[in-house]
Structure 1
């Protein structure tokens, strides 16, 4: 029997488009889109007065409220993915002590994969999907997960620190840059980071040269000491 391929797909990728959580009691509509049974029922309960029902994703409408049946295949697949991974551990990436937790997850939080400097929040794979699907949210500034997002905000204007002021040696927001730092020498954080990196490399090189010079002087001192010791021992040997 051929070896079974171990899935690399995480269960948290099977998310409900309504609640953005991993599907619970998944149901699949005739259009192919899947939802938590409670989520789609809540949506359609609000539509009962109008007697129009549609898929929240593709907007396909139905003349009558469709009968919902639990998708047993999808349910079993999600359960298996929760229990089995390549290394035998949990497929859901829960946040550990050193990880940045997702700000949207309820209960036990998943590990965040991105932080949004526009929303000032961190998101797991599931809750990051709106940022990837929406044209508006897609313009937001995403970066690697950070547990100290508040430190990236200007304490005065509550705006993201996007400018580095060389004059005051500090990061400022755009409002600060055009007001109290208007006449200062400012650059982007990327430029400042590159300059600092060059300075670090230069200092490393200078330190390396100084160490080499000291080692050379130390060798010269050792040679001088050995010569002195030889000159002191030789006369004694001759007299004997």
Structure 2
């Protein structure tokens, strides 16, 4: 029988002899024997002489009913026995007869009690559980230390004298080999972890220094280009100012000459006029060349060269980023859904303001349910008024995002993403998921699966009906990947650097529901 490794006590030693079960609230009589509290009280109540109390074990009679106090130590042992790993002591009885399990049938490979000998186990090979216990745990014949000696006496010893190969021990070499293999793999992985950690030591700091150097380089390049622009601008402004000053000087001279001329014309006295006549003529002759003064054609400075140089610097940076992303893309292809949950997993929330009146949103904003009755939603510019659709309140335009949707309670649906700018009012294709250039979705209809974008459907071969689908949006790479049954079903490609939202549409019956899964 099983015993507790902590106490060394067998289960039989913790059984009440009245009910043959583990003690319940054990109490100990003055004679030293213990019983369940209920069992001893029922035993005394069954006596004809109510005033006589005796011990069911040793039959000692107590003239006065003894005070029965709980045996705390015994109760603790019972609790420890119940917690023996892998052993449910209270189930160690035959389920058919309720008797202790003492035997093992080799023909049926089943445990049994003594009463089981009569019945279906008749004429079967039955042995005590202790013997078969030793047999199963014994050292395998091929590994027995006395194998050679036993082979020499094999001809004169019956087969029953040999120790039978232990079934469990026979597996030990295989388990040991598997253990060594796994330990070797674990050691290798630990070394790889250490190497990976070592490879990153100092790299981040060095990159930070290079980042500062890159900032300085970019700042210097932009400053040089700005300096060139400002220098050319100042040079032209200087020349223009000189021209303006010259023109102003000439204009002032003209104003003075004009004033002199007007004064001469207004002078009516003969002698005064004739005296100043020659001076007026000279002044007019000195400014007569102004009439032929030619101005240079107006020009605007062209800074396209500087802007082109800065554009080249940006393009160089973009190409550099693309080269950085390439090894990351290779790793992305190796990630399973479990890894995607850990790295990029999120749980979108539904936007009640976008829900069609026949789409009910749960309080936690995770579940959308189609109803035949219109819900009393207030009017809102974001609300779908024709198609039974709803969008998430989450909006993505950068980074990677992974979410999963449970569809076990829906017969027909469309799940995907759409531009935040997609129309909400009306029944045209531009308002329905998958039927316009601004939406991409996975569709189930009449137990068939499709992908749909810009009103183009592609049938998918889908064995069975998965209850959960996964979706990965990679905005920078312009990819929207649909997962089902732990495999990639389809990859949409588009411009996802503009704001997009997770979306749900219903095409089935009243009561269909779809839920965003929590991570």
TM bucket (normalised to shorter chain) is 0.3 to 0.5
TM-score (norm: length of structure 2) = 0.20
TM-score (norm: length of structure 1) = 0.39
Report 1 or 2 for greater relative contact order, CA contacts < 8 Å, sequence distance ≥ 6: 1
Q: Whose strand fraction is larger, Structure 1's or Structure 2's? A: 2
| Bigger Rg, structure 1 or 2 | 2
